[in-house]
Every structure is written in C-alpha cells, then in structure tokens.
Amino acid sequence: MHKFNSRILSVDSGSLKDEIFIQVNPTEIGAAKVSNKGIFYNILIQNVKSVVANVIKQEMLSVGGDAAVARGALDISVERSNVVIVGNLKQLKLFAMKIKAQPFSMKFLGSELLKIIDNFNKNSFILKSKDREIHLLPNKTYIMGILNATPDSFSDGGDFTNIDTAIKHVEQMLKDGADFIDIGGESTRPGAENVSVDEELRRVIPLITLIKREFPDSFVSIDTYKAKVAEEALIHGADIINDISALKFDNNMFDLLIKYKVPAILMHIKGTPSNMQVNPTYHNLINEISNYFREIILYVEDHGGDPSNLIIDPGIGFGKTFTHNLEILNRLKEFKSFGLPILIGTSRKSFIGKILNRPTPKDRINGSIASACIASSNGAKIIRTHDVQQSVEALKIVDSIRKEGID
C-alpha cells in the first residue's frame, strides 16, 4: 500500500493546475489538459421538455459525461423534467459545441452553461456608484459594519440613536477595517412594525450627512425598502441601496438605480418583516431563492439597468427556519452561478443562539464569526456584521489560508 507513497490531494479544483506543476513539472499544455479534466461541475437545468432532457443525456454520454433525468422522461410519460449534468470542463465544452447544431432553444444551452461556469469562478468585481468605482479584489472578503439608528433592532436597538454616539461608532468601525457602513432607520427583525417615512428620514439623513462630512472616502449603504428614504439618502451622500425586498416593496426603487447609477443589494425575503417567520415553507429552498434572484436580475437587464451593479443576499433569517439558514450557508456557492458578489448577514442571529444556547444577541459573537468564516469559504464576498474588529481579523485568516500566505 505504501510502496508508491500515494495520497489523495486535498487541493481544490482552482488550485489543481498549480499543484500539478509543483508535483510533476509537466508541460503547460499537459498541466492544463489534466487540470481541466479534474474540475467537475454538477449543473442543474430546470424544467425542460422530456425529449430535450433525453437529448441532453445522450449528448453528455457521448462526450464522456453523464446526466440524470426524471424516470418518466425516458419514455416521455412526463412532459417535462429537471436535468442534472455531470462533467469536467473539457466534456462540457465538447457538449456545448455539439448542441449548437441542435434546433430551437437547445443551441443556446451550451453558451449558457459555459457562462455560468465563468460566473462560478469569478472572484473579483467592479461596482459603480455615481462617479466612483468600488473594486472588490480576488481573495479578499469585505466587511460591512452595521449601524442601526433604531430603538428596537434585535441586537443593538437604542445603542446608536444619539448622533454623537453613532458617529464615534462609525469612526471605530472604519478604524477597525470596515469597508462599508450600512445605515438603517427601521428595524426589520421578525415581527417588526413599520415606521413612517418621515421618522425613518429623521433617523438616517442627519447621520449620513455627518458621516460623509467626517469620512468623505467612506462607502455608505442605506438599508431601506422605501424609495423616498433611499433617494434622500443618495442625495445626502449614500453610495449603495440595501433593500431587503429586492426592489419589490416599492415600485419606485428601480427608477433610483437608473437615475443615480448606484449598486443595489438585493435580498431574498419571504413575506414581510411582520409575518416572515410565521411558518415559512419551501418546496425547494435553493431553487426558489435562485429563481427569485434570476427574475429580478432579468428585469433589471431588460429595463435598462446594469445587472453587473447588483449584489445578492440570500436573506438569512428573513422567512427562513433554523434548518433553512444552515442549508443556505452550506450551499452558498451555488449562488455564484450568477456572477455577482454575494453578501451574507448572520451577525448575532437567532439560529446561532439556538446552536450555542445563547438567548442574548450580544453573547453570540463567537458563533457569528464562525458562520462568517464558513460563508466566506463558501463564496460570500461581503459579510455584514455588528462586530467589525473580530470579523476583520478572522476573515484575514480565512483569506490568507485561501491564497496560501499574505502577499
């Protein structure tokens, strides 16, 4: 067993080519060929006609890959089927070339598959906000510090309603390494009641104005689903819209993206803050969240917006059970198929309290940091947190391990 000193390599698919060079010293072409064969993708194709599903399966088999189809698709006893194809990059490229000759929509499938593979491997992004660019670099996780100017937020309600205290907290978060500051004037905790537009404006506009005066280079996001609040915040210096409804609660929100040319964080929510935790159920959680994002992204693209200026947030705790939250974090990489930055906010949330038996939100910092590290490892580009210093330090370790040392 030990005669040849064999072992299974634990390098991920993205590092396989480099590892082949280190271990074997092959030719460039040889390393590329072998590494491409070692990168496997399991790709879901939803709701295709059974006859198309069978063609996909046969073509994948012909290039050395495979596909799973519904049992009724084989004899056309069901009209439609989901398909899961499994293949390496070389096989998928051959498959894409072959089906270009197929009729109807089949010819577009190959291009779509190659596009989502490119998206999945994307690790750097450029967001445009007014006259500035926000560069999200490879192998770095970015931190969004939370500032709730509210009396009733679940973790820090009432802590920062005084503007002097709030500004000192912003200064500390920036000093600790926050890349963004997220300002909210209405609690969206489970069961929260709405506040008026005027009250929300009263809470956030003086704060944003002062932050941009004191820290003009900072990037500020406004956490609101109300277009009037968002617009006033943008006028007074905010750079990003963070909308828990993904532009759905206020029809005027989309127009602001076009008018002000700013990034938008689109979060998935089921229901509203007042009822979202009343028995949230899904037929297929990840499929439904993905389809939700796909619908909005296509709408932005079809109506003159810039889909590359979007950030997606699966919405931990927003219409999700304990089990849903864990599944999202475990399968977070699937959302990389959109080719957009992923934001995750697990900070001090109740599922962490349940795991650790910590009923008080401020006692959940350790669990929050652990969940942030998992989220980053699984594809999150931005972590939204109450605890900036701890998050920055923990994620520096994650990022350094991922790129094998500090540059």
Range(s) within the chain of domains with CATH label 3.30.1370: 39-120
Specify the CATH architecture of the domain 39-120: 2-Layer Sandwich (3.30)
What is the model's pTM? Answer: 0.92
User: Could you tell me the pLDDT band of residue 6, with boundaries at 50, 70 and 90?
Assistant: low
**CA pair distance 174, 172, nearest whole angstrom:** 5
CB neighbourhood size of 214 (10 A)? 12
Q: Give residue-wise pLDDT tens across range 328-371.
A: 999 999 999 999 999 999 999 999 999 999 999 999 999 999 99
Both tokens of 308, joined, read 């590359």
Residue 140: CB atoms within 10 A of its CB come to: 17
pLDDT band per the 50, 70, 90 thresholds, residue 376: very high
Cβ-based neighbours of 105, under 8 Å, separated by 6 or more: 52
* Model pLDDT, residue 152: 54
Q: Does the annotation count 270 as an active-site position?
A: no
Q: Quick one: pLDDT band at residue 27, thresholds 50, 70, 90?
A: confident
CA–CA gap between residue 365 and residue 254 (Å, rounded) = 35
In this structure, what is the dihedral angle of CA atoms 40, 339, 311, 154, given to the nearest 10 degrees? 0
pLDDT-derived band at 161 (thresholds 50, 70, 90) equals: low
Task: Answer for the pair 320, 280: CB distance below 8 angstroms, yes or no.
Answer: yes
d(CA 261, CA 404) in angstroms, rounded, equals 37
Selecting among 226, 349, 364, 402, the annotated active-site residue is 349
Which pLDDT belongs to residue 405? Answer: 46
pLDDT in tens, 174-221: 999 999 999 999 988 777 778 899 999 999 999 999 999 999 999 999
Cα(42)–Cα(286) distance, rounded to whole angstroms?
Answer: 15
Contact 185, 201 (CB under 8 A): yes
Range list for CATH 3.20.20.20 in the chain: 125-402
Strand duo 240-243 + 66-69: pairing: unpaired
Among the listed residues 203, 336, 384, 402, the single catalytic one is 384
pLDDT score, position 29: 81
* pLDDT score, position 406: 44
Read off the pLDDT of each residue in 78-86 and give the average, rounded to a whole number: 94
Per CATH, which fold does 125-402 belong to? TIM Barrel (3.20.20)
Q: Which of 100-104, 105-109, 256-260, 284-288 has the lowest mean pLDDT?
A: 100-104
Mean pLDDT to the nearest integer, 384-394: 97
Q: Quick check: is 331 catalytic? A: no
Find out whether 342 and 303 touch, Cβ atoms under 8 Å: no
pLDDT in tens, 270-284: 988 888 888 999 999
